[in-house]
Amino acid sequence: MIPVLGYEGAVVAVLGLGRSGLSAARALREGGARVVVWDDTDAARARAEDDGFEVRRLDRAEAFDDVACLITSPGIPHLYPQPNAAIAAALRAGVPVDNDIGLFFQSLGGDWDMFDQPPKVIAVTGSNGKSTTSALIHHILTTAGRESQLAGNIGRGVLDIDPPEDGGVVVLELSSYQTDLARSLTPDVAVFTNFSADHLDRHAGLGGYFAAKRRLFAEGGPDRAVIGVDEVEGLYLAGQLSEGRADDRVIRVSSGQKLGGPGWYVFVRKGFLSEWRKGRQVASLDLRDIAGLPGAHNHQNACAAYAACRSLTLAPREIEAAMRSFTGLPHRSQRVAEVNGVTFVNDSKATNVDSALKALLAFPKIRWVCGGLMKDGGLGALQPALDHVAKAYVIGREPESFALQLPGVAAEICGDMATAVARAAADAQPGEVVLLAPAAASFDQYDNFEQRGDDFIACVMSATGQE
């Protein structure tokens, strides 16, 4: 655990008692704070009381008379579409609002003078690929013999990790919900994978969403910034952070375009990753046969992870060897089975159109399991990949509406996962891929994308006789 510093003897309120909220409450208590908590659910409040915390309603101004700070969980709105009642009460009372990420950066590194090599923090944000990039960085570091911990939106709660050791690295996956509110953001290396529309209601539009991501770099002032420049937002961010063309504190990365100039660049073309510095190539890796990183979107993740690890002085061959043993993450281009020449791939995390597009472009001929709770903007952006689809098998509560947005694609209305997988498996020919890439949220039929992916895997096992 990372004890929270700066609140010894003070009253600190914690709103929301999920994983991050409880972790923050315990770390605050460990640092000497008196912690009061609130959650809207009876069960969460009961668990907190059993853990020795004082429960206090926080939706009234008088609740904050003795409170030094309010710590809120990332899923609770603090500004848009409207602030939670407790957060609004804190703001009216003049009480600062923070989250566990802010507490982490505020409290890390209390006594590092004893270390020969001070620990480092790599923070990864972006619209898609954050989890895979973070996990790949962690895997590379661990495989290379570096002490590494994975936390944030993936792995352990950020305050639940062990204090890093000499030369240790903490790898954090950070969502826009986390970067938007954290009062302290000071990573050594910050990574921006890519940018596409998502969470627009929470950030009041695309500009607010980008501003939340940008805070990690503008507020954090990292020593090195790894920036995906395949979208204009990344180009803009790299330009803002750089002092000139030769400024190698900014490492620009791309999947699909050659980059060049006097700076530091990492890019992939035709499956080959290239690193260029000061106008010359210094390394090249062949990604084409790395099973855990299929498709252009994973090659983009590989570029970002490679650049982050190179910024910590790992050698190119060390990184390549570690990438070859990377098996990927559940629900993200996860190869579930191969039966009679047909490959089954679970990409349930493809909850928006951009991530689904990248999943579809990764394979030449697809039996596509898709559908769910559609997000704003429709499915028009999928058009460049629809020629990869042999047939769509549509699930969700309103599959007909989803199918109507796939012009020119043969679509079968299935409704549920079991029917879709059974029909796709029966139709699939050797060399084809049965791919779950929903291009939609899961909440119309499942609690989360993980549950949806697990159901896909179970249905594949049943349909192929591997139960």
What is the distance between the alpha carbons of residues 283 and 237, in angstroms, rounded to a whole number?
25
Among the listed residues 226, 259, 260, 258, the one whose alpha carbon sits nearest the alpha carbon of residue 241? 226
What is the distance between the alpha carbons of residues 409 and 387, in angstroms, rounded to a whole number?
8
Kindly tell me the sign of the dihedral angle through the C-alpha atoms of 219, 225, 226, 227.
positive
Among the listed residues 257, 231, 261, 234, the one whose alpha carbon sits nearest the alpha carbon of residue 246? 261
Among the listed residues 124, 109, 121, 120, the one whose alpha carbon sits nearest the alpha carbon of residue 163? 109
Which SS3 state, helix, strand or coil, does residue 444 take? coil
What is the distance between the alpha carbons of residues 462 and 250, in angstroms, rounded to a whole number?
49
Q: Is 128 annotated as a binding residue?
A: yes
What is the distance between the alpha carbons of residues 427 and 423, in angstroms, rounded to a whole number?
6
196-210: b or e for each residue (b if 16 or more CB lie within 10 Å)? bbbbbebbeeeebbb
427-455: b or e for each residue (b if 16 or more CB lie within 10 Å)? bbeeebbbbbbbbbbbeebbeebeebbbb
Q: Is 448 annotated as a binding residue?
A: no
Q: CB within 8 A of 16, min separation 6: which ones?
A: 39, 72, 73, 75, 76
Q: Strands 342-346 and 334-339: what pairing? A: antiparallel
Instruction: With beta carbons less than 8 A apart as the criterion, state whether 421 and 394 touch.
Output: no
Q: Is 132 annotated as a binding residue?
A: yes
Beta bridge partners of 373: 441
Q: Is 175 annotated as a binding residue?
A: no
Instruction: Give the position of tokens 């982050």.
Output: 308
Q: Is 145 annotated as a binding residue?
A: no
Write the single-letter amino acid at 430.
P
Among the listed residues 252, 149, 143, 141, the one whose alpha carbon sits nearest the alpha carbon of residue 192? 252
Which SS3 state, helix, strand or coil, does residue 283 take? strand
Q: Is 148 annotated as a binding residue?
A: no
CA 15 to chain centre: 23
Q: Is 130 annotated as a binding residue?
A: yes
Binding residues for ATP: 126-132
Binding residues: 126-132
